[in-house]
Amino acid sequence: MSFKSIVRELREIRDGIGNMSKRGAEGKNIHSRTKSQVTVDGPMQQSGSSSSSSSSVVQQGRWANLPPELLLDVIQRLEASETSWPARQNVVACASVCRSWREVTKEVVKTPEECGRLTFPISLKQPGPRDSPIQCFIRRERATSTYHLYLGLTPALLGENGKLLFAARKVRRATSTDFVISLVAGDFSRASNTYIGKLRSNFLGTKFTIYDSQPPYDTAVQSNSRSNRRIHSKQVSPRVPAGNYNIATISYELNVLRSRGPRRMQCTMHSIPISAIQEGGTAPTPTAFPHSLEEQFSLSSAPKSKEPLIPFSSTSLLSEPPISVPGTGEPLVLKNKAPRWHEQLQCWCLNFRGRVTVASVKNFQLVAAVEPSHQVSAAEQEKVILQFGKIGKDIFTMDYRYPLSAFQAFAICLSSFDTKPACE
């Protein structure tokens, strides 16, 4: 059997398992249907009925019993050949066959920092590559107040080749604005397993807080947040509940004199230590979602929690303290790179290396703000960690690199879309 035939048959098995699970989920609520939708990029889906489970075991038996050496060789070849989306979904299909395939695939597939590629959903929470940025773009939908982050160089890759990474919805409140971030475009409920986090602004739009649904590092310690207890036990892992962890703060400088010029911003990354950009330093890298899809299916038959739900109000997050990695010292602080004034063009300019083509007050580049005592090399200080800019009507590019993750970078860029009357 040829290598392509193996991959084709694996995808058919994966699709067959998904179809059986969909049939077993008929008659259930919308939340159950949502869970079956996100398993394409997640762990292997487990069927809810005994008949479906036995059928899937029969289908997977011939592949689950492959010799480990052969299995490793197959997945290594696939990892080396399928380097971009949509072909990279074949690598995800290997992790969806059975437990042994999933473990080998997780061993072969490296983090974005190591390989520069996004494969599984957890890759979006892991630091980007050190050498070259991961290039993405954001599409704004004004009618629905939504923002979609895609992987790719240009919007021309939309359609069948477009890879949606995140979707966000802007929700205006009396004293603040929220950007709710999800893995899918149609579900922005915080009770959903696709909820990733949110960005919240103050009334003036000068200060923003990034909240993550999980700790920035692997841990079994539960959050003390009151808002965590509103999620049913069947929806999350009992070890680490889906919560709101304050991982970063974004501040825009007030423009008191109303002088013209670019916005000035500063990002304090509470979850990333300054040592991450020092020689030999590392950034926190989560390896799995605490409320993985596999755990949710195993918990679907567990009794519901008797603890009453607590409403998620606009004040429920005000007392959340920043979370940091224990024993890491000062947090990393990012600042926008100062632009230069171009006399001929009569505008402020930055070198975006062709990735930004339209002048906008939203355009920015972020670099590390360091002191001499931090002992950070000059090359690291000059490195652009995140850049964001406009290329067309409602189309923006977003390029990020280590130590930021796609989620952190997207949340920072979303802050640029909020109205800032005090900064302009």
pTM score, two decimals?
A: 0.77
Report how far apart, in Å, the C-alpha atoms of 39 and of each of 15, 45, 90 are. Answer: 11, 6, 14
Structure confidence at residue 32 (pLDDT): 41
Structure confidence at residue 243 (pLDDT): 74
One domain for residues 103 and 126: no
Report how far apart, in Å, the C-alpha atoms of 385 and of each of 190, 279, 370 are. Answer: 29, 16, 13
Structure confidence at residue 349 (pLDDT): 86
CB count in 10 Å sphere of residue 307: 10
Last residue of a domain, one of 74, 109, 144: 109
Burial (0-12, 13-18, 19+ Cβ within 10 Å), 164: middle
CB 228 within 8 A of CB 212: no
| In-domain check, residue 409 | yes
Q: End-to-end alpha-carbon separation of the chain, Å?
A: 64
State yes or no: cis peptide before 403, omega within 30 of 0: yes
The three-state secondary structure class of 301 is: coil
Can you spell out the DSSP letters for 197-238?
A: EEEEE-TTSSEEEEEESS-SS---PPP--GGGGGS-TTTS-S
Residue 28 tokens, joined: 């259930």
One domain for residues 67 and 210: no
For strands 395-400 and 134-141, give the pairing.
antiparallel
| In-domain check, residue 267 | yes
| In-domain check, residue 290 | no
One domain for residues 360 and 278: yes
One domain for residues 379 and 417: yes
| In-domain check, residue 266 | yes
Report how far apart, in Å, the C-alpha atoms of 216 and of each of 120, 124, 308, 348, 396 are. Answer: 17, 12, 27, 36, 27
CB 377 within 8 A of CB 116: no
Number of domains in the chain: 2
Structure confidence at residue 191 (pLDDT): 87
Last residue of a domain, one of 82, 109, 136: 109
173-178 long-range contacts (CB < 8 A, ≥24 apart) are 173/314, 174/314, 175/202, 175/203, 175/314, 176/200, 176/201, 176/202, 176/203, 176/314, 177/201, 177/205, 177/418
| In-domain check, residue 295 | no
Domain range holding 99? 63-109
One domain for residues 126 and 245: yes
Structure confidence at residue 26 (pLDDT): 47
One domain for residues 70 and 168: no
User: Cα(280)–Cα(277) distance, rounded to whole angstroms?
Assistant: 8
Structure confidence at residue 348 (pLDDT): 78
One domain for residues 186 and 83: no
CB 171 within 8 A of CB 149: no
One domain for residues 389 and 415: yes
* Mean pLDDT in consecutive groups of 10 residues from the start of the chain, 424 residues: 63 56 44 37 41 51 84 94 90 91 94 95 96 94 96 65 89 92 93 93 92 76 40 39 84 68 88 95 89 40 36 43 67 92 82 90 94 92 96 95 98 90 55
| In-domain check, residue 311 | no
CB count in 10 Å sphere of residue 38: 18
| In-domain check, residue 322 | no
CATH number at residue 174: 3.20.90.10
Helix (H) or strand (E) holding 146: strand 146-151
One domain for residues 133 and 278: yes
Structure confidence at residue 239 (pLDDT): 40
332-341: string of b/e by CB count within 10 Å (b at 16+)?
bbbbbbebee
Structure confidence at residue 64 (pLDDT): 82
CB neighbours of 60 closer than 8 A, spacing ≥ 6?
13, 97, 98
User: Cα(267)–Cα(332) distance, rounded to whole angstroms?
Assistant: 8
One domain for residues 261 and 391: yes
110-137: string of b/e by CB count within 10 Å (b at 16+)?
ebbbeebbbbbbbbbbbbbbbeebbebb
One domain for residues 204 and 334: yes
One domain for residues 93 and 196: no
The three-state secondary structure class of 183 is: coil
| In-domain check, residue 68 | yes
Nearest to 364 by CA among 341, 392, 398: 398
CB 78 within 8 A of CB 90: yes
- Alpha-carbon torsion (394, 211, 177, 190), positive or negative: positive
Residue with tokens 């977003």: 398
Structure confidence at residue 248 (pLDDT): 97
User: Across the chain, what does the average pLDDT equal?
Assistant: 77
CB 154 within 8 A of CB 135: no
Calculate Rg over the CA atoms of the chain.
22
